[in-house]
Structure 1
Amino acid sequence: MSVSIQDAKVPTFANFVIGGISGVVAQMATHPLDVLKIRMQVSRKTLRNAALQTYGMNGARSFYVGLSAGLLRQLTYTTSRLGIYNTLLDIGEQHFGYLNYVTMISLGMLAGIMGSFIGCPTDLIFIRMVADINLPAEKRNNYKNVINGMSDVRKIEGFTALWNGAVPTMSRAAIVNGAQLGTYSRAKVMLQDTGYIQNGIPLQFAAALISSLITCFVSMPVDVAKTRIQNWRQSRKAPNIIAMIVNIIKMEGLIALWSGFLPSYIRATPNTIITMIPSRTVVYVACLTRPADRPL
């Protein structure tokens, strides 16, 4: 192999395709945990009670409510954020070599903000489909699928309503992606420097475990506030993200900002692994299969 795996780069378009595919696979694998996390955040139930309530609605199928919205969210949000981040990271490393931690976090935050704005409508519908269970039957949205939900919001609330909660969504995405993508990239460098783990799946796996823990902890307060805002049902306008966080602390205590932490963390680890490993695996396969005299 004349070109190392680390030096090899995938084409720009592949960064987006791989990001979307890996996001869909991750969503399929972790969707039930996403459902439980959201229901804990809007109802303040324990994990056990949220799971029993969900199962009681329609059996195991209830854990996959909102799947169409979750998948479309991955095809918009994850495709954009991972494609943009990997492209910017490749460009930066080509011109400057290894980037420092602050730069990696900044690139992750930028990619997250851009991706979350694109995916905000699907995220809104996803939250509402999952949270419907906590409303009286006569007040539920009863969206049949993500397309039906987006159509209803556009007709009843207006087109711009699809971006309700866009600011907290983008704020959360900046934190999540800065922590996840930046920490993942930095963790790989640190693990390589130890000499115990080099390139390959074990390195990517270990880096994903580290980044998922940090990501979950720092993003949960904003995530809880975002979910409450997007599921806001009162006649008065929903408070902004800062006001919502302050209100949660006053009414429920500081610990409430980490509602749903356990399912979120259990979800975050495999989600990060499934999402982050495929792109570098493609590089690995490309290096092994391409002719020696053909540049990657």
Structure 2
Amino acid sequence: MKTWIPFLCLAALFASCEKDVELHTDKQEPKLVVEAQIESTQSPVVVLSNSLDYFSTVDAATLNNTYVHNAKVTITAGTKVYPLTEFAVQLPGGFYFYYYGISVTTSTPLFGEYGKKYDLQIETGGKVYNASTTIPLLAKKIDSLWWKPAPNNSDTSKVVLMARVTDPPGYGNYIRYYTKVGQQDFFPGRNSVYDDQIIDGVTYDIQVDKGYNKNEKPTREEAGYFKRGDTITVRHSNIDKATYDFWRTWEFSYQSVGNPFSTPGKVLGNISNGGLGSFCGYASQYKTLIIPK
């Protein structure tokens, strides 16, 4: 029994040396967060907010207070400068969604055009932020959509959506896709952006997973599947390299949250002067398929 005395004493010594460690995190000044897009045949939409601290409590009221108001926002297309106006859309619960767009009363409307470049400028808080994007030509297209029963699944109501896509010759054709069911909103897939590094200049068949709201985790049983009776619309958008890099790194970061073994990643935005987020251009094709019950 005496042989255990030194070990017991050592354990007591370590226990007596325990010390509370307090971590003091640096307070970061809020940064401007930009969510801006211009799509073919559509007017631009720009949402401005301030970033939150890592340890902030996030709820609807907090998010509603992050919007940036009274900013001076313009988009330049060629030699013409278009001023954007701030709008408010009322949401359930007494909250509002704020965005900057082209006023319907303007005599010079702005709609996205294929092959055009657009420059965004934001003035707020005594700083100026800039970003540029392009709407590519609609070169990579969906030829057809069809469905088939979900494989290895006992639930006969579940189906998978298939698409035949033609990629034009020459590397550098990037796409992002979204899906919607009925009159619901469009949502991107879990991995929604793709390049043409291994499928350049060919026609290929691919499964199109159902997009979902990133604020709601889909169950493993439902992820990716559609159902009989669904009316499905696919938004298939050609994008430029900067837009591809933003969403590729954003989705990697989103999927890595909470994983202690994941590789750290940086989201590659295109906003100058330390701003976060992106200004993205989309050349979009829409295709609809009705799945019988």
Into which bin does the TM-score normalised by the smaller protein fall? under 0.3
TM-score (norm 2): 0.26
Which of the pair is proportionally richer in strand?
2
Greater relative contact order structure (CA < 8 Å, 6+ sep): 1
